[in-house]
Structure 1
Amino acid sequence: MEFDSWLDRMFHMNNKEDHGEIVSLCWSIWQARNNIVWNQKKSDVNFAVYSTREYLAEWKSAQVFSTKTLYQDIENGDGATSWVKPEKDKVKGASKLFDGVIRPEHAEAIALKEALSWVKEKGWRRVVINSDCLAVIQAIRSNVILSSPFGQVITECRMMLRDLNIKLFFVKRSANMAAHYERVVFFSGSSF
């Protein structure tokens, strides 16, 4: 069966709401094919399906809230290019590793949520958390409600941030290398 015949058949067999997922999945398959042909990289099927659904959910959300933007004004302290020692009596947050196949910004949001839970559990005040994932920082600072798994984690982070005295900053990846090192040291059994 030729692709165009198959696609036509899929459109007729499924309702209109599923058409976007069908097209997005075709796009993911095409990208996976190009990765094999041009970059000699194999793609995970589960990741292709997950990322398709995540992308489509974010796209649909963007269509509903097309007049709103995730971008918020940059705050004082954003964009550091080197590690900055926390102020006296403040702690910089850490995160932990999870198994699974998800998009990087979703993983960063989950790590942030875990760090917030950790801070809350410890009862710490005056905490600074740096993230090199601008999408997460912007999503948290935004008022846009994202109807996706990523958006659910962002909503949970927003709710926790309301109850905690935490400063959240975007830093460039080069400035966050110390944080990556701290995670390795912390999770190998030591603490920082």
Structure 2
Amino acid sequence: MATLLWCIWQNRNNNVWNDTKINAQQEQQLQTDRAVMQWQQPRFGYVKCNVDASFYDTEGAIGWGWCVRDHRGRFVIAGTNIMHSRLNTLEGEAMAIKEAMDEMVQRGFSHVIFESDSKIVVDAITSSHRGISDFSLLISSIKSVLVLNPNFEVKFVKRQTNMTAHSLARVAYSMPSRCIFELIPQMVDLQGL
């Protein structure tokens, strides 16, 4: 009922202030679009690990971050790392996923959905293509982890739903090295993500 009233109020305001009217079908599509752009809880029994990388070209460094939440959206653990190496964007995004996977294996997580906002990397992981580049070798390494952990999944999400991991990746530059957070880091806002 609250949603219906909010929609009526919003439609009225759009009509009065913007001279636009939204019909019920358009409003339903807007709500669907908003849901897609919000972090979605994993199914029961799984945790979700959002992963992202960030790049500082002037320093030749790459930072990455990951954040794990349970099926209720509660914070479980997070981490950051920095590498002083000139990886390209795809290699950096793949390296972030690989490190997050290794950390989950080491900590005994067995049912994990990894989400990245790098569609090319996620597509490479789910494809059967093989190559000999550094990027292809990283992808092969990730695929090996997936074979050994059949309840690990890798999915693409839009950047808007991956902002927690993005924030952690950017904060990696202010950390001396690899950091693990067992409490919600102050620099990360989990609300609404």
For this structure pair, what is the TM-score category when the shorter chain's length is used for normalisation?
A: 0.5 to 0.7
* Structure 2: distance between partners of 1:111 and 1:124: 17
* Structure 2: distance between partners of 1:171 and 1:99: 27
**TM-score, structure 1 as length reference:** 0.52
Report % sequence identity: 28
RMSD: 2.4
Structure 2: gaps (5+ residues):
1-35, 50-65, 67-79, 173-177, 185-193
Give the equivalent residue in structure 2 for 1:175. 161
Give the equivalent residue in structure 2 for 1:160. 145
Q: Which amino acid letter does the alignment assign opposite residue 87 of structure 1?
A: R
Instruction: Give yes or no for the alignment of 1:101 onto 2:109.
Output: no
Q: Which amino acid letter does the alignment assign opposite residue 163 of structure 1?
A: L
Structure 1: gaps (5+ residues):
1-79
The answer on whether the counterparts of 1:90 and 1:128 sit within 8 Å (CA) in structure 2 is yes
Q: 1:144 to 1:125 in 2, by over 3 A?
A: same
Structure with greater strand share of residues: 2
Query: Residue deviations 1:77-100, cap 9 Å, x none?
Result: xxx422112334422222633222
* Structure 2: distance between partners of 1:117 and 1:145: 21
Aligned length: 113
* Structure 1: distance between partners of 2:131 and 2:116: 20
Give the equivalent residue in structure 1 for 2:111. 126
**TM-score, structure 2 as length reference:** 0.52
The answer on whether the counterparts of 2:146 and 2:153 sit within 8 Å (CA) in structure 1 is no
Note the C-alpha offset of 1:189.
Answer: 4.4
Note the C-alpha offset of 1:113.
Answer: 0.8
* Structure 1: distance between partners of 2:183 and 2:168: 8
* Structure 2: distance between partners of 1:125 and 1:115: 13
Task: Look up the SS of the partner of 1:97 in the other structure.
Answer: strand
Matches within 5 A, 1:129-144: 129-144=114-129
Task: Look up the SS of the partner of 2:83 in the other structure.
Answer: coil
Q: 1:86 to 1:132 in 2, by over 3 A?
A: same
Q: 1:125 to 1:159 in 2, by over 3 A?
A: same
Matches within 5 A, 1:13-162: 80-93=36-49, 94=66, 96-162=81-147
Q: 1:97 to 1:89 in 2, by over 3 A?
A: farther
Task: Look up the SS of the partner of 2:125 in the other structure.
Answer: helix
* Structure 1: distance between partners of 2:181 and 2:126: 33
Query: Residue deviations 1:27-49, cap 9 Å, x none?
Result: xxxxxxxxxxxxxxxxxxxxxxx
